[in-house]
Amino acid sequence: MRLDKAALIDRGSKLRFSFDGVGYTAHPGDTLASALMANGVRLVGRSFKYHRPRGVVAAGSDEPNALVTIGQGAEQDPNVRATVQEVFDGLSARSQNRWPSLGFDAMGVNDLFAPFLGAGFYYKTFMWPKAFWEKLYEPVIRRAAGLGALSGLPNEAKYEKAFAYCDLLVIGAGPAGLMAALSAARAGADVILADEDARMGGRLLAETGEVDGRPGVEWAEATIAELTQMPNVRLMPRTTVTGAYDQGTFGALERVASHLADPPADMPRECFWRIVARAAVLAGGALERQIAFQNNDRPGIMTASAARAYANRWAVAPGRRVAVFGNNAGIYQTARDLMAAGIEVPVVVDTREGAAEDVGTRVIEGAVVAGADGRKGVREIVVRRPNGAVRFAAEGLAVSGGWNPAVHLTCHMGGRPEWDAELAAFVPRRGAVPGLFPAGAARGVFGTAGCLADGARVADEALTALGHKPQALNVPRAEDGAYDIAPMWVVPGKGRAWLDFQNDVTAKDVRQAAAENFQSVEHMKRYTTQGMATDQGKGSSVQALAILADATGRTVSETGTTTFRPPYSPVSIAAMGAGGQGKGFAPERLTTSHAATLEMGAPMMEAGLWYRPSYFPKAGETTWREACDREAAMVRDSVGVCDVSTLGKIDIQGPGAAALLDFVYTGTFSTLKEGRVRYGLMLREDGTVMDDGTTARIGPQHYVMTTTTAAAGQVMQHLDFVTQCLRPDLDVAFTSVTEHWAQFAVAGPRAKELLEGLCDGPIDLPFMGCGPVSVGGLAGRLFRISFSGEHAYEIALPARYGDALFRALVARAEELGGGAYGMEALNVLRIEKGFITHAEIHGRVTAFDVGMQGMVSAKKDCVGKTMSQRAGLMDPGRERLVGLRPVDGGELPMIGGAHLFAEGDAPVRVNDQGYITSVAFCPALGESRALGFLKRGPDRMGERIKAVDHVRGETVICEVVDPVAFDREGGRLRD
């Protein structure tokens, strides 16, 4: 019901929205919760477990009941708090966890079985038969219980993440936060003021008290206006600080577009901020709790502060008659505010004796509300005194059981809050999060005047810690009544008194947990699920602890508390992962030949972050194998061109360059002559092979190392580690030049002919030679190295010429009967030659395993040498590199990953003899060839072995052969 009074809404303009398909109107300034209340909608959701009808109980993000789904299709957003969601024109909201409708929910039948569904029900009931859990019980329970659902579709909406820095982060823009921000801003600090609400001001927007002789709202507006003008202040409304992390880092979720009817296409829906602050003031206020009694979850029953907020800020109420119940002085302010707003307050029920104030209506002291009637909305309340019970008609009930400081962020780094018996609340432990200073209600200083003064004082404390000189700030005048709380947690009596509305936990559940010896708070929490819902028990955990304390004969302080973890309120995964969806997950690295390769119709494969061509299809070819076979044969017969720019290239210079290479490679590079290239094997410190590649000496103190594509980053990191930590004595400098050079392999009997037609002079390099080359007057590098077993070169020019050079090389190759070849053919060629890649040096094999122990120089030390010589790593019985061919020739119908077994053995784990790492059909051999690792492999040449691919269900008998199948003498390379 909308009240006829002034409020912070724009009555001059109307917004249309719908809830469960029914159209309503609202005003700018309304939340979905206030707008529903204005339209007389009290029933807004069904509870998690029992499907009980529920209404709005809070006015902020602590709302446990009023969770709705906003939006349709992929962008459907479940569990949105109606108390946070601003109404916009066209907003469409749906209730959750009900079927077929909110008014008639068939699952409401669960409530009738409540006596059987209490704490520990699942554990006791569904333990047997064991197999039933996954197949029957869990699916049924999940369907019956739950909140909103995701669409299951990929969410294409734009989300954003961002970073911000400041001297002082002020969390919360109520009286304490505004004073803290003002004080810090005037002192010249960089300030970020973040507030969860669309409008800053905190409780000043919801209360009627004056600040500095004018309404609190006006003071807040004036203060915000001043802050807005200051260049050193950033105001962040609609921003919830969700977590406190190490070294002054805070997570914060900003709602950017979720309140707009028609946001610009590029506007992100939400932004997840990482804010790094030298210090922070936690001025997040306090959250009011209720007192539990029978049926205290009926729609229309809410916290007293929420009732005041709805009446004062939004001019709405759950009905014409709203009763008030509580254990502290705040109930009288509530009654006054509601009556001033034109609401009838039939009774104020005060649990205390002798504290009544004259508010112009009936006050009953020493009494409790013992029950509520009205299933889908409260109709009547039962007020009980020692001498009997009285019923009052009421459409709403405002309840105050006291306030809980919002200590959540102070718990995020392991700190537990302390019990303050006088306040009957947990307050932050001092220093719980370094650099985080709680202020105002967040540390138990209640009341406007208290918060104003405390905000200024705590900001000064924080500023002093930062070395700023605080400015003396006049604290504006305000009046605070007494708090005067007399703790009461639950009204004794029959029936279910609700604590955790989100998880449907009652006072009886907590007592039952204690009775069944789940007496630790942590056990009680898990046994009952109290506080384990998305609100982390904001409105209920303290009552539950107090009941547990009572049931176990301890004080609350002795009982202790569970803790709060980030996030303070739920954060969508989409916001945290912003920018990382799909291809945003990692950058794409494209070679200079990328465009030309695509033009040639080559399908691309990913090699780390790089994209490389699989093969270059020709007209008439229908399978990749046809293209691959043709390309492999082409390299053997004429000439092929392949982009090898993705291999890591590291430029190494300085007097210590040779010594560094000798230290990181198993072989010796100090003896390598200028203009020559040598193959090298690099070990990890544990003696396992890290990487292999060639290194060229291009000057007396100048080398160029190549790495595999996969290990380029790892090798660079390794060199940094070696030079900074193991050999800081070496005077050597190195840097990656991978990106500077476009490098192409030109391989085949006509490679030299091709290059001589392209380059500016004759080509005269011996095998494993290198030197400068000139192409069209441009200076490049030429290496005579081969990964195909053919007479081959790698030619490099600065990357800007890569595209042109690739096109020129391919065109000339085609003239000579060759062309471009892709990764598939490259793989075939190297398997024919028994050359290893990371398929073989996969991180578990040693130089000994790949038959390269002879390359570990005996004359010098190198990284990993000693460890590689451990007896276990030199055991001849190890799985060692071999070649494998099908005994009957033909093709091996399997790929890497197949396992090897003795011919007569069952293909089971205990009989395992080794495994296959690479397989290819080799056109040069007319049959398939595999590389793999076999126990005692090199000693078993000619033996028959059974290769079993369990995934594909294939078994083939193979012959163990030398890994080098083609041109074993290497004549073609050197020719």
Partner 1 sequence: MIDLTLTAPLEGRAPVELGATTLAAADPGPLTLIMPFAGQTEATGAALEAAIGLGVPPVGQTRTAGDVRVIWFGRNQWLVAGAQVAADVPAAVTDQSDGWVAVTLAGPLAADTLARLTPIDLRPASFGPGATARTDLQHMPASITRIGAEAFLILTFRSMAQTLWHDLADALRGVAARQGG
User: What are the residues binding partner 1 (CB under 8 A)?
Assistant: 158, 160-165, 190, 256, 263-268, 274, 276, 579, 584-592, 610, 651, 653-655, 731, 733-742, 758, 760, 775-778, 797-805, 808
Please, which residue, 264 or 872, has the CB nearer to partner 1?
264
Smallest CA-to-CA distance from 922 within 960, 867, 963 is with 963
User: Residue 763 CB, nearest distance to partner 1 (Å)?
Assistant: 14
Please, which residue, 266 or 358, has the CB nearer to partner 1?
266
Please, which residue, 797 or 900, has the CB nearer to partner 1?
797
Cβ atoms of residues 653 and 857 within 8 Å: no
Please, which residue, 259 or 684, has the CB nearer to partner 1?
259
Please, which residue, 494 or 583, has the CB nearer to partner 1?
583
3-class state of residue 585 by DSSP? helix
User: Residue 964 CB, nearest distance to partner 1 (Å)?
Assistant: 34
Enter the tokens of residue 50: 């029992």
Taken in order 504, 543, 369, 359, the sign of the CA dihedral is negative
Q: How far apart are CA 48 and CA 98, in angstroms?
A: 10
Please, which residue, 274 or 320, has the CB nearer to partner 1?
274
User: Residue 357 CB, nearest distance to partner 1 (Å)?
Assistant: 48
User: Residue 75 CB, nearest distance to partner 1 (Å)?
Assistant: 17
Please, which residue, 161 or 416, has the CB nearer to partner 1?
161
Cβ atoms of residues 253 and 517 within 8 Å: no
Q: How far apart are CA 678 and CA 670, in angstroms?
A: 11
User: Residue 588 CB, nearest distance to partner 1 (Å)?
Assistant: 5
Pairing of strands 191-194, 233-236: parallel
User: Residue 157 CB, nearest distance to partner 1 (Å)?
Assistant: 12
User: Residue 264 CB, nearest distance to partner 1 (Å)?
Assistant: 4
Q: How far apart are CA 111 and CA 121, in angstroms?
A: 14
User: Residue 321 CB, nearest distance to partner 1 (Å)?
Assistant: 45
Please, which residue, 588 or 686, has the CB nearer to partner 1?
588
Please, which residue, 471 or 653, has the CB nearer to partner 1?
653
Q: How far apart are CA 797 and CA 801, in angstroms?
A: 6
User: Residue 188 CB, nearest distance to partner 1 (Å)?
Assistant: 11
User: Residue 728 CB, nearest distance to partner 1 (Å)?
Assistant: 10
Enter the tokens of residue 277: 């602050």
* Residue 240, amino acid: T
If one counts every other C-beta atom within 10 angstroms of the C-beta of residue 725, the result is 8
Enter the tokens of residue 171: 């969390």
Nearest 5°: phi and psi at 513?
-60, -45
User: Residue 781 CB, nearest distance to partner 1 (Å)?
Assistant: 12
Q: Which residues pair with 773 in a beta bridge?
A: 780
Q: Where are the alpha helices (DSSP H) in 467-540?
A: 507-515, 521-528
Please, which residue, 283 or 742, has the CB nearer to partner 1?
742
User: Residue 198 CB, nearest distance to partner 1 (Å)?
Assistant: 15
Q: Which residues pair with 672 in a beta bridge?
A: none
User: Residue 820 CB, nearest distance to partner 1 (Å)?
Assistant: 17
Cβ atoms of residues 903 and 944 within 8 Å: yes
Smallest CA-to-CA distance from 651 within 781, 473, 833, 541 is with 781
Q: Which residues pair with 641 in a beta bridge?
A: 746, 820
Q: Which residues of 755-789 are buried (b: 16+ CB within 10 A; e: fewer)?
A: beebbeeebebeebbbbebebeeeebbbbbbbbbb
Please, which residue, 74 or 733, has the CB nearer to partner 1?
733
Smallest CA-to-CA distance from 175 within 279, 334, 283 is with 283
User: Residue 267 CB, nearest distance to partner 1 (Å)?
Assistant: 4
Q: What residues contact residue 796 under an 8 Å CB cut-off, 6+ apart?
A: 741, 742, 743, 744, 780, 781, 782, 783
3-state helix, strand, coil in the chain (%, to 5): 25, 30, 45
3-class state of residue 162 by DSSP? strand
Please, which residue, 266 or 599, has the CB nearer to partner 1?
266
User: Residue 87 CB, nearest distance to partner 1 (Å)?
Assistant: 21
Nearest 5°: phi and psi at 568?
-60, -45
Cβ atoms of residues 781 and 698 within 8 Å: yes
Q: How far apart are CA 33 and CA 82, in angstroms?
A: 5
Smallest CA-to-CA distance from 478 within 118, 838, 179 is with 179
Cβ atoms of residues 757 and 776 within 8 Å: no
Q: What residues contact residue 27 under an 8 Å CB cut-off, 6+ apart?
A: 9, 10, 11, 13, 14, 15, 35, 87
User: Residue 858 CB, nearest distance to partner 1 (Å)?
Assistant: 30
Please, which residue, 8 or 816, has the CB nearer to partner 1?
816
Please, which residue, 178 or 716, has the CB nearer to partner 1?
716
User: Residue 811 CB, nearest distance to partner 1 (Å)?
Assistant: 10
Please, which residue, 264 or 877, has the CB nearer to partner 1?
264
Q: How far apart are CA 652 and CA 659, in angstroms?
A: 11
User: Residue 699 CB, nearest distance to partner 1 (Å)?
Assistant: 11
Pairing of strands 301-303, 322-326: unpaired
Pairing of strands 819-820, 792-798: unpaired
Please, which residue, 97 or 592, has the CB nearer to partner 1?
592
Kindly report the three-state secondary structure assignment for every residue of 883-910. EEEECCCCCCCCCCCCEEECCCCCCCHH
Please, which residue, 362 or 807, has the CB nearer to partner 1?
807
Please, which residue, 146 or 580, has the CB nearer to partner 1?
580
